[in-house]
Amino acid sequence: MVLTGLAILSGCGGSGVTSGGSSGSLSQSTTSTSGSVTPRLLPPAPPGQPPSAGSTRIQTELPAGYAVDLRPRVNPLVVNLRSGWNMFSMPFVSLSQFNVSQPGNVLACYRYDATTGNYVELNFNNGAFNSNPFTGYWVYCSSPTQVTMNGDEQTQTTISTNLAMGWNLVGTPFSVNTPTSQFQWQSGTLPAAFASFLLWPGVLTYNGSAYTELGHPPTALPAAESQWIYAYAPGVLSRTVTSLAANRSFELPTVNSGGFINASPGDSTTIPGWTVVGNGGGNVAVIQQDFVFRGTTIRAQDGTQSLDLTGFSDLTGIADVGVSQQLTTETGKTYRVSFYIGNQVDPGGPGGTTSTVNVEINSVLAFTGTNSDGAGSNVMNWRQFSFTFTAAGPATVITFRNGDVAADTSNGLDNIVITEEPGPGA
């Protein structure tokens, strides 16, 4: 359904805040034949006429200290913005790559404050996207423009945002189309909220000239886009990440403060959910985050414990030692594996300068990640990596192996999140 009669507001406002205007008023409603309350008016129009090309406010440079060679996502996400207004979202926690094909084409960027009914003007750069991952944005381009970006994906156990009563501009917080069944509204699911009219099921997107329904209700929220969602009462929209991997952050067994527990190949009980694999002469170690090795505190990336794939029984290191786990999968389904590699930089010492992890799917090498960050730091440096695989059967064995040379005795692994990717029809 195309919703016409949209009145574009005039003026951007010199203060950086633009009113949503009467077209977004929430004071009126109608009652549908089903008895549910239907919003009478559309959400606020796009923020208005953008500034002229000569007053562009885009900034595309990365701040000092960003590692531009970081590629946690195997392939960067490419977003094509049309000429005119676009509804945009930022699916990454932090950006390592943010390139705009024609920076001068981007003339305006706004977010919407649902509590005040105002648009807030922003610079279109990586620094503008440090707010809640559910934040939606309007971006205006003078001609078609391509944005290429990469960074750390969402891996928090739960991400959430508060929606106000009325229309809310909500961004999709992931780099893939995400089924609405994976989101929660208050204590129930998002589809249930649409069905019971806690949220209006007519979620709206924008086609360049008018609002259209994403679905009634939608089955998925599209990657790197935002949408208008109408809430009949304030509440919390959330998404809980459930990883297929058991004991994904190695919080078991419980390790004493500042200590570690070794486990050798063939051991399937010491680290619940995981079996240690590899050369019988090596081991792995679950480390509590107050442990210090050669001046580096081995802080966990998630929780209070992490795994060292080189172990701590000696200082020789065994290159092929690792951990494996059998996952329950569905034949033909695609799954995303996200994990963090920890590195310390110890030039000339046993800690080495890089950390490499080889990931196998059913004993076949599927991905290799190397973290070389951390020079000058006295705490473990973590970098996120991710890749996808397609399941060949109902059970899939995933293995994380130490890929460092034998003399390197520091290689961290933590926060393993394995989730099913949405299907092509989502």
Q: Which domain holds residue 206?
A: 2-240
pLDDT band at 43 (very low <50, low <70, confident <90, very high): confident
- The span from the CA of 283 to the CA of 310, in Å, is 6
336-360 pLDDT, tens digit each: 898 999 999 998 888 899 999 999 9
CATH number of the CATH domain containing 402: 2.60.120.260
Residue where a domain stops, chosen among 208, 240, 272 = 240
- Asked if residue 172 has pLDDT above 50, the reply is yes
pLDDT band at 320 (very low <50, low <70, confident <90, very high): confident
**Helix, strand, or coil (residue 254):** coil
Any domain includes 248 = no
Closest among 166, 94, 123, 125 to 383, alpha carbons compared: 94
Q: Report which of residues 93 and 210 the model is more confident about.
A: 210
CA angle 282, 284, 286 (to 5 degrees): 155
Total structural domains within the chain:
2
Closest among 164, 161, 112, 160 to 136, alpha carbons compared: 112
Task: Mark whether 193 and 291 lie in a shared domain.
Answer: no
Residue range 75-92: mean pLDDT, rounded: 91
Any domain includes 245 = no
pLDDT band at 16 (very low <50, low <70, confident <90, very high): very low
Q: If you ran DSSP here, which 8-state letter would residue 190 be given?
A: H
393-409 pLDDT, tens digit each: 999 999 999 999 888 88
**Helix, strand, or coil (residue 319):** coil
Closest among 289, 352, 340, 287 to 315, alpha carbons compared: 352
Closest among 415, 419, 155, 159 to 303, alpha carbons compared: 415
Task: Mark whether 23 and 137 lie in a shared domain.
Answer: yes
113-125 pLDDT, tens digit each: 999 999 999 998 8
> Which range has the worst mean pLDDT, 7-16, 71-80, 270-279?
7-16
- The span from the CA of 178 to the CA of 339, in Å, is 20
Closest among 194, 190, 220, 192 to 205, alpha carbons compared: 220
pLDDT band at 130 (very low <50, low <70, confident <90, very high): low
- The span from the CA of 401 to the CA of 118, in Å, is 51
Task: Mark whether 280 and 151 lie in a shared domain.
Answer: no
279-292 pLDDT, tens digit each: 767 899 999 999 99
pLDDT band at 53 (very low <50, low <70, confident <90, very high): very low
Name the percent of the chain lying above pLDDT 90. 58
**Helix, strand, or coil (residue 37):** strand
> Which range has the worst mean pLDDT, 68-82, 83-97, 401-415?
68-82
- The span from the CA of 207 to the CA of 371, in Å, is 41
Task: Mark whether 175 and 75 lie in a shared domain.
Answer: yes
Task: Mark whether 289 and 413 lie in a shared domain.
Answer: yes
Instruction: Note whether 364 and 327 are within 8 A (CB).
Output: no
Name the percent of the chain lying above pLDDT 70. 79
Considering 42-46, 77-81, 207-211, the range whose residues carry the highest mean pLDDT is 77-81
Closest among 348, 292, 358 to 323, alpha carbons compared: 358
- The span from the CA of 58 to the CA of 104, in Å, is 7
Any domain includes 30 = yes
Residue range 87-98: mean pLDDT, rounded: 86
pTM (whole model) above 0.85:
no
Task: Mark whether 162 and 43 lie in a shared domain.
Answer: yes
Any domain includes 24 = yes
Task: Mark whether 214 and 272 lie in a shared domain.
Answer: no
**Helix, strand, or coil (residue 286):** strand
- The span from the CA of 203 to the CA of 213, in Å, is 6
Collect contacts of 260-265 with beta carbons under 8 A, ≥24 apart.
Answer: 260/285, 260/286, 260/287, 260/288, 260/291, 260/308, 260/312, 261/285, 261/286, 262/311, 262/312, 262/313, 265/321
**Helix, strand, or coil (residue 158):** strand
217-255 pLDDT, tens digit each: 999 999 999 999 999 999 999 987 678 999 999 999 999
Any domain includes 360 = yes
- Asked if residue 95 has pLDDT above 60, the reply is yes
Task: Mark whether 144 and 283 lie in a shared domain.
Answer: no
Instruction: Note whether 315 and 293 are within 8 A (CB).
Output: no
Average pLDDT, the chain: 81
| CA 100 to each of CA 96, 388, 392: distance values in angstroms, whole numbers, following the listed order | 14, 26, 38
Q: If you ran DSSP here, which 8-state letter would residue 105 be given?
A: G
- The span from the CA of 420 to the CA of 242, in Å, is 10
Residue range 2-9: mean pLDDT, rounded: 35
Any domain includes 281 = yes
Omega before 103 within 30 of 0, i.e. cis = no
Residue where a domain stops, chosen among 212, 240, 268 = 240
Q: What is the DSSP string of 353-376?
A: S-EEEEEEETTEEEEEEEE---TT
Burial class (CB in 10 A: 0-12, 13-18, 19+), 393: exposed
Q: If you ran DSSP here, which 8-state letter would residue 139 be given?
A: E
Task: Mark whether 171 and 314 lie in a shared domain.
Answer: no
Task: Mark whether 37 and 123 lie in a shared domain.
Answer: yes
Altogether, the residues listed in the chain come to a count of 426
Instruction: Note whether 339 and 74 are within 8 A (CB).
Output: no
Any domain includes 48 = yes
Task: Mark whether 148 and 181 lie in a shared domain.
Answer: yes
Q: How many CB atoms lie within 10 A of CB 260?
A: 19
- Asked if residue 50 has pLDDT above 60, the reply is no
Name 423's Cβ contacts closer than 8 Å, sequence gap at least 6.
Answer: 333
Instruction: Note whether 415 and 249 are within 8 A (CB).
Output: yes
Any domain includes 396 = yes
pLDDT band at 367 (very low <50, low <70, confident <90, very high): very high
